[in-house]
């Protein structure tokens, strides 16, 4: 039987999840409300532990040198995990700086020009570009500019942009699974367990791209007849709106921001060797972006999605309520019992549970909830941690493709399409994305079993 603190923690968590799924208000509101209720009802009233409140905020960690330069040690964190929050904030600054110079529109239009505006080659190129960029930039940002450019190109090339937008969403989520910085769930998993960019690249990278390649074939088969009529005819378009060079607002800032982006990639790839934390990498990238574009610094800061950062903080507090009261330890025990200490069964449960759960709820809170669960499985159930972590990463990232609300990128992409007059209903989204999601998760599952069983 659950005690009072556990019941309250579960009820608060479920209420938060339901509010997030409903989507009537921005997700930071239920996360913030859930955090407040967790602190008051769970920690103070039920547990009578003011110390738990202080440990949840974890502010003292920010003043420790090992938080910024941990060397080869992993940073253990209970409560609010400031590493992914600070890193994502720095990424937001850098991305806004790049967007301000016109980099993303220039890149998309350059790719379109490279394939001579042929629709089928454009389809393939945009999927690959979405997957590649999502390894380094969050998928929300990728969808913001790629969906907009796709609709703009669709007007000139006279094709339906909806299948391509859904495919870009799919590629962003799946490509994001290939690296630590690609999707927020991976940042949460990586910072929680001390995994580096290269750890993800070597373990989820090949699997994610293999899954994406297989899914690309499925998408191509589904849409080829729709695009076949115009897909093989080169389009000679002279419109200034489609000229890549016209997207660049300032050549100096354009070059400077590309240099910052390249530095970010170098720091991410080598942070395990340099000993820098991802929070430090995020701060360095953000500060350099503000310095090179100091005249637009105030504009860039205003555009940062502060609400999402607040959402992360509130989410960590609510999850810490489940962790502190022992609810997640109990869940880990159930999974261990079901799997009977068999790693193949453990991988199967984690990846498919993550996939189907992330298809109907936002994959960020699900990943944050499951991190202490698989940690408990590893500590008490005798499971090796890495295969469980990779199963959680691939399941949450790729599983988020299943429905229009499975990941933040899905919500952003469909919202942009609807704003431009191309409504994407559940039926149409499921038609294209759900079979690909199940296939991609299946491929990932088999490859994980082959590697770790």
Domain count, the chain: 1
Which of 108-112, 206-210, 228-232 has the weakest average pLDDT? 228-232
Q: 95-136 pLDDT, tens per residue?
A: 889 988 999 889 999 998 899 888 888 888 999 999 999 999
Is pLDDT above 60 for 142? yes
Which range marks the domain in which residue 214 is found?
A: 4-57+103-247+305-452
How many CB atoms are closer than 10 A to CB 25?
11
Q: 365-376 pLDDT, tens per residue?
A: 889 999 999 998
Q: What is the mean pLDDT of residues 46-65?
A: 90
Is pLDDT above 90 for 74? no
The percentage of the chain sitting over the pLDDT mark of 90, rounded to a whole number, equals 49
- pLDDT score recorded for residue 288: 97
Q: Under a CB-based contact definition with an 8 Å cutoff, are residues 5 and 42 in contact?
A: yes
CA max distance for the chain: 71
Is residue 254 included in any domain, yes or no? no
Residues 279 and 191: their CA atoms lie apart, in Å, by 9
Alpha helices of 203-277 — where are they, by DSSP H?
A: 206-231, 251-274
CB-based burial label for 236 (10 Å; 0-12, 13-18, 19+): exposed
- pLDDT score recorded for residue 238: 56
Is residue 72 included in any domain, yes or no? no
- pLDDT score recorded for residue 155: 84
Is residue 76 included in any domain, yes or no? no
Which of the four pLDDT bands, split at 50, 70 and 90, describes residue 76? low
Is residue 82 included in any domain, yes or no? no
Q: What is the mean pLDDT of residues 148-163?
A: 87
- pLDDT score recorded for residue 242: 74
Residues 440 and 209: their CA atoms lie apart, in Å, by 10
Q: What is the mean pLDDT of residues 342-368?
A: 90
Cα–Cα–Cα angle for 402, 221, 441, nearest 5°? Answer: 30
Instruction: Give all strands (DSSP E) within 281-357, no chain letters.
Output: none
Which of the four pLDDT bands, split at 50, 70 and 90, describes residue 225? low
Is residue 315 included in any domain, yes or no? yes
Residues 151 and 391: their CA atoms lie apart, in Å, by 34
Q: 417-431 pLDDT, tens per residue?
A: 888 888 888 888 988
- pLDDT score recorded for residue 134: 93
The pTM of this model reads 0.88
Q: Under a CB-based contact definition with an 8 Å cutoff, are residues 88 and 138 in contact?
A: yes
Is residue 218 included in any domain, yes or no? yes
Residues 413 and 427: their CA atoms lie apart, in Å, by 16
Is residue 205 included in any domain, yes or no? yes
Residue 113 in tokens: 């020009």
Q: What is the mean pLDDT of residues 309-326?
A: 91
Is residue 208 included in any domain, yes or no? yes
């Amino acid at each position: 039987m659950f005690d009072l603190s556990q019941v309250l923690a579960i009820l608060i968590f479920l209420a938060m999840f339901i509010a997030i799924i409903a989507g009537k208000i921005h997700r930071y509101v239920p996360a913030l409300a859930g955090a407040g209720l967790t602190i008051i009802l769970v920690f103070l009233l039920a547990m009578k532990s003011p110390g738990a409140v202080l440990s949840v905020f974890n502010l003292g960690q920010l003043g420790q040198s090992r938080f910024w330069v941990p060397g080869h040690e992993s940073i253990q964190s209970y409560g609010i995990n400031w590493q992914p929050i600070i890193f994502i904030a720095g990424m937001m600054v850098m991305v806004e700086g790049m967007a301000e110079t016109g980099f993303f529109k220039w890149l998309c239009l350059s790719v379109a020009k490279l394939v001579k505006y042929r629709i089928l080659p454009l389809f393939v190129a945009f999927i690959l570009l979405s997957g590649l960029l999502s390894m380094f930039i969050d998928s929300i940002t990728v969808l913001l500019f790629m969906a907009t450019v796709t609709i703009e190109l669709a007007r000139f090339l006279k094709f339906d942009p909806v299948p391509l937008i859904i495919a870009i969403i799919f590629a962003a989520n799946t490509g994001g699974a290939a690296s630590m910085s690609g999707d927020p769930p991976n940042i949460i998993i990586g910072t929680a367990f001390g995994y580096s960019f290269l750890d993800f690249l070597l373990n989820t990278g090949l699997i994610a791209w293999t899954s994406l390649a297989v899914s690309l074939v499925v998408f191509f088969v589904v849409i080829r007849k729709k695009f076949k009529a115009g897909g093989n005819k080169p389009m000679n378009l002279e419109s200034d709106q489609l000229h890549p060079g016209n997207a660049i607002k300032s050549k100096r800032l354009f070059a400077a921001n590309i240099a910052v982006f390249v530095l970010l990639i170098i720091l991410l790839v080598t942070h395990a060797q340099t000993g820098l934390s991802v929070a430090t990498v995020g701060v360095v990238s953000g500060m350099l972006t503000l310095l090179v574009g100091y005249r637009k610094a105030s504009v860039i800061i205003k555009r940062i999605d502060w609400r999402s950062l607040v959402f992360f903080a509130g989410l960590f507090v609510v999850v810490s309520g489940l962790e502190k009261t022992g609810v997640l330890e109990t869940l880990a025990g159930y999974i261990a019992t079901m799997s009977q200490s068999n790693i193949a069964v453990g991988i199967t449960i984690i990846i498919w549970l993550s996939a189907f759960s992330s298809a109907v709820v936002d994959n960020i809170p699900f990943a944050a909830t499951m991190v202490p669960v698989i940690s408990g499985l590893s500590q008490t159930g005798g499971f090796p941690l890495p295969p469980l972590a990779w199963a959680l990463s691939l399941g949450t990232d790729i599983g988020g493709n299943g429905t229009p609300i499975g990941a933040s990128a899905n919500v952003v992409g469909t919202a942009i399409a609807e704003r431009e007059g191309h409504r994407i209903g559940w039926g149409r989204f499921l038609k294209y994305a759900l079979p690909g999601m199940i296939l991609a998760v299946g491929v990932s599952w088999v490859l994980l079993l082959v590697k770790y069983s």
